[in-house]
Amino acid sequence: MSQVNQTGKLTADEIALYDRQIRLWGLAAQANMRSAKVLLINIGSIGTEISKNIVLSGIGNLCVLDNHIVREEDLGCQFFLEKKDVGKLKVDVCSPKIKDLNPRVNLTVDSDSLANKDELFFKQFDLIVATELRKDQITELNRISRKLNISLYVTGSNGLFSYIFVDLIEFVSEEEKLKTGRTTLTGEISSNRTIIEVDTRVDDDDPKKIFETIKTRNSYKPFDDMLQTATLEGKLTKRQVKRVNSIVPLTISYLTKIPSSVEELHKNTLSTCDKLGIQSSTLKDEYIQQFYKQANVEFAPVAAIIGGAVAQDVINILGKRQSPLNNFIVFDGITLEMPIYEL
Amino acid sequence: MSSLCLQRLQEERKKWRKDHPFGFFAKPTKKADGTMNLQKWEAGIPGKEGTIWHEGVYPLTIEYPDEYPSKPPKVKLPSGFYHPNIYPSGTICLSILNEEQDWRPAITLKQICLGIQDLLDTPNPNSPAQEPAWRAFQKNKAEYERKVLLQAKQYTK
Amino acid sequence: MSRDSNITKIIGEENLKKLRATKCLLIGAGGIGSELLKDLILMEFGEIHLVDLDTIDLSNLNRQFLFRQRDIKQPKSTTAVKAVQGFNNSKLVPYEGNIMDTSQFPLHWFGEFDIIFNALDNLAARRYVNKMSQFLSIPLLESGTSGFDGYMQPIIPNETECFDCTKKETPKTFPVCTIRSTPSQPIHCIVWAKNFLFAQLFAADVAVNNDSENKDWGTTDEDEIKRIKQETNELQELQDIILSGDTTLIPNIIEKIFIHDIEKLLRIENLWKTRTRPTPLNSSQITTDLIDRNLDLSALWPIQDQIQKFSSITSKLMKRMKEEDNHIEFDKDDEDTLEFVSTAANIRSQIFNIPLKSVFDIKQIAGNIIPAIATTNAIIAGLSSLVSLRVLSLLDFAKITKPTDLNMVFTAKASNISQNRYLSNPTLAKPNCNCPVCSKVVRGVMNIQSDMFKHLKLKDLIITLSEKYNFDTEELSILDTTGQRLLSDFDFDSLDEKTLEEIKVLPGSVILVTDETEDNNGMGLKPLELYIESRKIDSRKTSDIELPDIKIPFVKMTTAEEEHNESSTQETPVLQTNEVITLDMDDNDKDIKKRKLSDESSEATQNKKSKQEEDDIEIIEEDDIIELD
């Protein structure tokens, strides 16, 4: 990441405005956020939520790339849009509204098509969040983001269901937590994460409290690799394997190939189950039906949840706080389950 | 205030009615509107027989916070009370009345009153709360006893 | 395609019609409330009534996305409703008011709603709304956030745990001994500076000196009286200096609290056997420089700056006392009071070898500020609005067979509880049989004809109640739960002849009626809680008091003592203070839970034993909200 560290001091006004979050992540992280440059691709329901969250939190620079026209059905899931906006370019409608949320943020919009963008364009950014893209678009974008060493978040809506894919290439996170019981050891903790350093610190205020600072190296995979090699084998206990939510294989199967019928979705998902190493009996029929029916449907409450989770992770990695998501997350809006898998 | 607090205070009253130690009294105070305030009580603690405290019945105020019984009541003797573990304001330094120490939600009013009666004659020199009584108790027992007896007369039964 | 084509694909046309006919109550237009309002509108809820008592503040703008700089000081509820007009398609009704105000929001008003969304920031209001939902059996979606942590809990009255079924963590208190004599952490000094020093000097009721002259001191010994006087009001002389307005005496204040009082503590040798002895200030450190300088509030000032600032701020506050009727309350947003408390706390910290803190940090502790961010609020509001579809039975393909099939949620990844799930989603638990709200009382509504409050006597009420429910009049206790007022019991009948109006038992009052009779087996009648509503004058009705037809159960009376003893053996070990617990990250099968709550303003944290599969670990978090003696 080309993190420009202009830790120019925050002004008293900024400290007052961001008071309630500075108390959570500190002045340094807030200052880091001010220098960040983020690209948001597509401002649909999740994109709207993400832009709201990161702009409110004081991200320095945001660019929105979207060439869609406002449609009637967008009004039911995107709060920047009004009836009178139908037929206009989305970015033109959203731009003043985003700006109004926080005039301190440097906002640019671009209504060019994603396909027209070259490396030079992407090079300007530290981080890309892409929403509602097809597999081929994601693959190409991910190729560029890897080449330019830019962090990438990909997310999309399927009605009550949704997913997040993360590729930070390699990311060392530092977290501090209260030590309770046993000491954290260095070494591999999961297929994508290794603890590389552990320090302890005694709390200034209360000498009885000891904090551990844990440095973790997170490794990631490109989107295509993930789709091809995704497996849960060896990563879950037997009981967990039995309880894998149907949305996991359904989402992967749908991302890999868009089916032309519900039967095809069913068939494809069965082979995804196989690849993942989960039993096809875990696949629930009503989920297959609903997933097919709701694929690509945008839904406001789900967008709020996913947009919140993505924006929070973006803020965390810009502020270098908390370990980042790694690397595939699905959400089931029925049971409210939201597992994180390293695929 | 929580329902738990209210129900528990009502129960404390019921329990005290059924069973309280001889010579003690405890009841809710009256509010200006004539109703009884279950969150603020008055009590009297007799000094133990055979001790320098026995002549007095010492008045307590007990205030129950909204978070009672998760939190202990605030119990006070009159301000200026002469005792090594009583703050000048009358606040009592007693472990069962401290949330971080020995307070438990099951502790009853009766136990509190008996605990304070005990404390009167067995001060804890390791938790001093006022200098004069603490110093006299440590260094000049005669002076200490004279003052305790004098104070007992002030609160005579 | 139309605006509602997406939601139709998800819930179907029939259910969309039902949703459009649904009337919901949203309480709170702050962090979660703004988000919920947006979500509920986009979901096509028919009617949304929005209540908030607050006005907009600068520090809200980092997350309450409906508000702008230009809206500061405007009411939240009406401003929010204006802000959503562009995308709104529902009937919106804003109210400025406190949800606990029974004249604006009587019980029957709550009764108009199909579902209630709580987006509150304090324990008292949460408890109140929970109780109203129990009175009316209306589903309640409770939620809260604190920084990265959040939770959302559906409450289906009589079927699932209510808000009060689990113990709520309350602000932490400190032993008075620690605060007054032996501080060992910054917070002890902050509590001392705020709740003791500041309160005594600027916010105490001014003592009437004459009174002390005539007081019976129990002795005629002059020295003794002097001692008692001194000890009784330790800070009397300092109060006198503050009131005199003579700023040349400020050095005397510093000398007293930071030198003499510390020397006095040093003389109590027992205190320092196992502790580091404090070092009083040196009199040469005291300054007469009263010029107020601007210093960086997020930096740590050296001790000399602390002393100088303490002096100049004291001088400023002394001048203000004259203009403000000799009474100034501590307010975190009143910079003078904040800087007074900060510098006093830091000077005391220095004396006791405790690390100093910046004004910015002290503001958080002294002002009980809870961090709050847009993302957690958005997630929790999204979950709350989403689960409402199942609560209202609008998802045909995911119908619940029983209310305990519903899920509650709390943040897991963000709260460092789990690395392999973003949210924890246990199914709901049945009501706790010891719950003081939903299990230990029976509940109903009592209607009294509106003109009768000034005629009916308490005695009449007692007789009517006893006749209806077979109570023993002699053993009946009546409590007004608002104000904790005992109105009548076995030993207290002096109000029995008063009218309901005289004793302020009015529409909106909730009374608790208990027959204290117990048989030999410790069995008795469950207490009865009645909400009093006023009924229009109706000549056809024969009785002035209408009581609900409830059969009051005869049950075993467990005492609180027994309950606590029971629960103490059942409960898993509980941690005090700010600790997040044991993360068994490598043991994927362990479901680790936590519930923490509280949000944007003061108020408490909740902890709750969640029930989901086997491996429960209970985690309690507590915000360091302080309270003293």
CATH of domain C186-353: 1.10.10.520
pLDDT tier for residue C176 given thresholds of 50, 70 and 90: confident
Rounded CA gap, C627 and C620, in Å? 19
pLDDT tier for residue C565 given thresholds of 50, 70 and 90: low
Q: Tell me the residue type at A220.
A: Y
Query: Left if phi > 0, otherwise alpha if psi is -120 to 50, otherwise beta: which for A243?
Result: alpha
Closest CA to C147 of C360, C374, C362, C366: C374
Which residues 34-53 of B have a C-beta within 8 angstroms of C?
34-39
Pairing of strands A106-110, B36-46: unpaired
Q: Give the per-residue pLDDT at C210.
A: 40
Q: Given CATH 3.40.50.720, say whether it is the number of domain C3-173+373-424.
A: yes
What class has domain C442-568+591-615? alpha beta
From the list B5, B60, B77, B93, the catalytic residue is B93
Tell me the per-residue pLDDT of C410-455, one tens digit each, with 9 for 90 and over.
Answer: 999 998 888 899 999 999 999 999 899 999 999 999 999 999 999 9
**Of residues A12 and C590, more confidently modeled:** A12
Q: How far is CA B41 from CA B28, B30, B31, in A?
A: 4, 9, 11
Positions in chain B short of pLDDT 70: 1
Q: Give the per-residue pLDDT at C21.
A: 97
Residues 6+ apart with CB under 8 A from A120: none
Residue keyed to tokens 């048989």: C519
Give the DSSP H or E segment for A62: strand A61-65
* CA B156 distance to own-chain centroid: 17
Rounded CA gap, C179 and C199, in Å? 14
Q: How far is CA B77 from CA B42, C80, C158, in A?
A: 10, 51, 45
Residues 6+ apart with CB under 8 A from A123: A148
The mean per-residue pLDDT over the stretch A305-309 comes to 98
Tell me the per-residue pLDDT of A217-256, one tens digit each, with 9 for 90 and over.
Answer: 999 999 999 999 999 988 888 888 888 999 999 999 999 9
Fold type of domain A12-168+299-341: Rossmann fold (3.40.50)
Q: Give the per-residue pLDDT at C608.
A: 34
- DSSP letter string, C413-460: TTTTS-SSEEEE-PBPPPPPTT-TTTTSSEEEEEEEEGGGTTT-BHHH
Rounded CA gap, C166 and C151, in Å? 14
pLDDT tier for residue A280 given thresholds of 50, 70 and 90: confident
Contact C474, C489 (CB under 8 A): no
Highest mean pLDDT range out of A245-249, C195-199, C515-519?
A245-249
Tokens representing C169? 């963590």
Closest CA to A306 of A176, A130, A134: A130
**Of residues C203 and B45, more confidently modeled:** B45
Tokens representing C128? 């109140």
A312 to C148: CB separation less than 8 angstroms, yes or no: yes
Q: Give the per-residue pLDDT at C231.
A: 55
Domain boundaries, chain A: 12-168+299-341, 170-219, 223-294
Q: Closest partner residue to B6 among C232, C484, C503, by Cβ?
A: C484
Query: What helix, strand, coil percent values describe chain A, rounded to 5?
Result: 40, 25, 35
C503 to B35: CB separation less than 8 angstroms, yes or no: yes
Residues of C in contact with B138 (CB under 8 A): 270
Instruction: Check whether C576 has a pLDDT greater than 80.
Output: no
The mean per-residue pLDDT over the stretch A48-65 comes to 97
C61 to A56: CB separation less than 8 angstroms, yes or no: yes
Whether A126 and chain C come into contact, CB under 8 Å, resolves to no
Which residues 130-159 of A have a C-beta within 8 angstroms of C?
159
Contact B91, B74 (CB under 8 A): yes
Q: Which residues pair with A264 in a beta bridge?
A: none
Chain A nearest-CA residue for C87: A82
Residues of C in contact with A76 (CB under 8 A): 2-7, 42, 44
Residues 6+ apart with CB under 8 A from A139: A222, A223, A224
**C433 carries an active-site annotation:** no
Residues of B in contact with C560 (CB under 8 A): 7-8, 11, 69, 105-106
Q: Per residue, what are the HEC states of C309-334? A: HHHHHHHHHHHHHHHCCCCCCCCCCC
C63 to A56: CB separation less than 8 angstroms, yes or no: yes
pTM value is: 0.89
Residue keyed to tokens 């978070």: B67
pLDDT tier for residue C539 given thresholds of 50, 70 and 90: confident
CA distance A63 to chain C (A): 19
Contact B13, B38 (CB under 8 A): yes
Residue ranges for the known binding site of C for Zn(2+) are 162, 165, 435, 438
The dihedral formed by the CA atoms of C338, C343, C345 and C346, expressed in degrees to the nearest 10: 140
pLDDT tier for residue C573 given thresholds of 50, 70 and 90: very low
Q: How far is CA A290 from CA A133, A159, A161, A262, C10, in A?
A: 21, 9, 9, 9, 8
Q: Tell me the residue type at C214.
A: N
Tally of CB atoms within 10 A around A331? 29
**Topology alike, domains C3-173+373-424 and C442-568+591-615:** no
Rounded CA gap, B147 and C217, in Å? 12
pLDDT tier for residue C629 given thresholds of 50, 70 and 90: very low
Contact C70, C61 (CB under 8 A): no
C170 to B6: CB separation less than 8 angstroms, yes or no: no
Domain boundaries, chain C: 3-173+373-424, 186-353, 442-568+591-615
Whether A298 and chain C come into contact, CB under 8 Å, resolves to yes
For C344-374, letters b (16+ CB in 10 Å) and e give: bbbbbbbbbebebbbbbbbbbbbbbbbbbbb
Tell me the per-residue pLDDT of C483-505, one tens digit each, with 9 for 90 and over.
Answer: 789 999 988 999 999 999 999 99
What is the SS3 assignment for A199? Answer: strand
Q: Give the per-residue pLDDT at C349.
A: 97
C422 to A190: CB separation less than 8 angstroms, yes or no: no
Residue ranges for the known binding site of C are 28-33, 52, 60-63, 76, 121-126, 162, 165, 435, 438
Contact C356, C350 (CB under 8 A): yes
Q: Tell me the residue type at C59.
A: S
Residues of B in contact with C171 (CB under 8 A): 67
